[in-house]
């Protein structure tokens, strides 16, 4: 038997006979997308209007410091659609900051982020919501690998995920920033205040029931990718240093390699003595071995320092220690 039950606001509204619809917030970053935002808005609204029987919705477009007509188009849309909101950032802060700005303003019970260039098909929202209804707090959209020709971008991506070597699902190849978060998942995500944000990694840290749907990315509707090589490289570096131990592991691996090389050279020196090689040559081999041994020691010391620094870094990031999924302790 239930002894007591605390009514939520929704319950009270329900008991008062008011209809209670969950609210969807759709958050999209846009940078120099003047050709795309309007078609994107139309496609997105078409999908969302099919859901109005069960949901309210709001769309938040974040203009990431565009210098083209993106912002004025967003303003025009906002003038005619009261469910449409825009946020204009003072300069180009990057995709991750733009999404975060939108997430912080989202009021929905479920929050969906997707790109505004129509590469993330809005129709997929229906599937994301179906999985949310099944009790998932996080629904990730995973890109189906399409057969691409040769491209540096593809090689870079493959190399990056090899280096990062993560066993965290969201940080494997194919996962995008197209995802659904429940309100509690978003509130948890927003507790991470670190400035080098890699949302895909952070989402993997919040936990909660998670599901995945696949999609085939469409061609960009118009315009070009805004991730030039430098931006992509910076993004990769953020992910690498925030979520992977690969850099300090590399120092240890190098130290081990130098140690093994020094042992090989030492064996070479002993062999040279036995074979009565000219003493001068044997001495060079010994010198090489000593040099490698010392380098290995210095690198090992640096590895230990890196270990300490990474712990300080963790502390400074002040990441939340845990999130509670359920409890019967009332707050």
Chain positions contacting ligand UDP, by CB under 6 A: 29-31, 33, 64, 92, 94-95, 98, 115-117, 119, 225-227
Partner touching 227 among ligand UDP, Mg ion, none, CB below 5 to 8 Å by kind: ligand UDP
Quick check: 303 and 253 in contact, CB under 8 A?
A: no
- Which of ligand UDP, Mg ion, none does residue 97 bind (CB under 5 to 8 Å by kind)? none
Closest distance to ligand UDP from the beta carbon of 320 (Å): 26
The closest alpha carbon to 151, from 242, 258, 224, 229, belongs to: 229
By beta-carbon proximity to ligand UDP, the closer residue of 33 and 137 is 33
CB of 228 to Mg ion, least distance (A): 13
Residue 303 interacting entry, from Mg ion, ligand UDP, none, C-beta within 5 to 8 Å by type: none
24 or 98: CB nearest ligand UDP? 98
3-state secondary structure (DSSP) of residue 55: strand
Nearer to Mg ion, 99 or 282 (CB): 99
Provide the minimum distance between the beta carbon of 232 and ligand UDP in the complex, in angstroms, as a whole number.
8
From the list ligand UDP, Mg ion, none, pick the one residue 58 interacts with, judged by a Cβ distance below 5 to 8 Å according to partner type. none
Minimum separation from the CB atom of position 2 to ligand UDP (A): 47
The site partner of 92 among ligand UDP, Mg ion, none (C-beta below 5 to 8 Å per kind) is ligand UDP
Nearer to Mg ion by Cβ, of 29 and 65: the residue is 29
The whole-angstrom separation of Cα 328 and Cα 140 is 29
Q: How far is the CB of 320 from Mg ion (least distance, A)?
A: 31
For the beta sheet containing 22-30, the strands, ordered from the edge strand earlier in sequence to the opposite edge, are 84-88, 55-63, 22-30, 110-113, 175-182, 138-143, 210-215
Q: Is the Cβ of residue 142 or residue 296 nearer to ligand UDP in the bound state? A: 142
Please choose which of ligand UDP, Mg ion, none residue 94 contacts, taking the beta carbon within 5 to 8 angstroms, the exact cut-off set by kind. Answer: ligand UDP
Measured CA to CA, the distance from residue 223 to residue 36 in angstroms comes to 8
Check the CA dihedral 270-275-281-283 and report its sign: positive
64: partner contacted, choices Mg ion, ligand UDP, none (Cβ within 5-8 A by kind) = ligand UDP
Residue with the shortest CB distance to Mg ion: 119
Note the residue count of the chain.
331
By beta-carbon proximity to ligand UDP, the closer residue of 95 and 109 is 95
80 token code pair: 């005619």
- DSSP states of 11-40 as a string? HHHHHTT----EEEEEEEEESS-TTTHHHH
Q: How far is CA 315 from the centre of its chain?
A: 20
Binding site for Mg ion (CB under 5 A): 115, 117, 119
Which of Mg ion, ligand UDP, none binds 31 (CB below 5-8 Å, type-dependent)?
ligand UDP
Residue closer to ligand UDP (CB basis): 109 or 177: 177
Counting Cα atoms < 13 Å in the Cβ hemisphere of 163 gives: 16
Instruction: List b or e across 244-262, with b for residues whose CB sees 16 or more CB atoms inside 10 angstroms.
Output: beeebeebbebbeebbebb
Smallest distance from ligand UDP to CB 123, Å = 17
**Residues 252, 303, 249: CA angle, nearest 5 degrees:** 40
Task: Tell whether the torsion through CA atoms of 121, 123, 127 and 128 is positive or negative.
Answer: positive
Smallest gap from Cβ 222 to ligand UDP, in A, equals: 11
The smaller minimum CB distance to ligand UDP, of residues 89 and 110, is found at: 89
Task: Tell the smallest beta-carbon distance from residue 36 to ligand UDP (Å).
Answer: 8
Give alpha helix (H) positions in the chain: 9-15, 37-49, 70-80, 95-105, 124-133, 152-164, 183-189, 199-206, 229-243, 246-274, 279-317
């Amino acid at each position: 038997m239930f002894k007591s039950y605390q009514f939520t606001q929704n319950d009270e509204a329900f008991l008062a006979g008011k209809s209670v619809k969950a609210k969807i917030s759709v958050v999209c970053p846009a940078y120099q997308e003047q050709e795309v935002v309007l078609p994107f808005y139309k496609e997105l609204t078409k999908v969302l209007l099919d859901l109005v029987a069960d949901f309210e919705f709001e769309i938040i477009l974040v203009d990431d410091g565009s210098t083209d007509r993106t912002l004025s188009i967003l303003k025009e849309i906002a003038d005619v659609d009261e469910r449409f909101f825009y946020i204009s950032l003072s300069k180009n802060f990057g995709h991750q900051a733009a999404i975060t700005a939108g997430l912080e303003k989202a009021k929905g019970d479920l929050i969906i982020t997707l790109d505004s260039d129509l590469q993330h098909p809005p129709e997929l929202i229906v599937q994301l919501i179906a999985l949310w209804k099944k009790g998932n707090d996080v629904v990730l959209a995973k890109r189906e690998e399409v057969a691409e020709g040769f491209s540096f971008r593809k090689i870079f991506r493959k190399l990056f995920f090899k280096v990062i070597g993560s066993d965290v699902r969201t940080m494997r190849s194919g996962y995008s920033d197209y995802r659904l978060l429940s309100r509690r998942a978003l509130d948890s995500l927003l507790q991470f205040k670190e400035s080098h944000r890699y949302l895909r990694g952070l989402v993997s840290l919040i936990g909660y029931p998670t599901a995945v749907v696949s999609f085939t990315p469409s061609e960009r509707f118009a315009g070009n990718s805004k991730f030039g090589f430098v931006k992509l490289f910076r993004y990769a570096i953020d992910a690498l240093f925030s979520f992977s131990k690969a850099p300090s592991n590399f120092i240890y691996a190098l130290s081990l390699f130098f140690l093994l090389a020094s042992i090989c050279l030492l064996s070479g020196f002993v062999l040279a003595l036995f074979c009565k090689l000219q003493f001068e040559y044997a001495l060079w081999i010994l010198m090489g071995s000593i040099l490698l041994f010392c380098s290995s020691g210095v690198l090992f010391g640096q590895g230990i320092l890196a270990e300490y620094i990474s712990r300080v870094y963790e502390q400074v990031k002040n990441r939340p220690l845990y999130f509670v999924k359920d409890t019967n302790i009332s707050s």
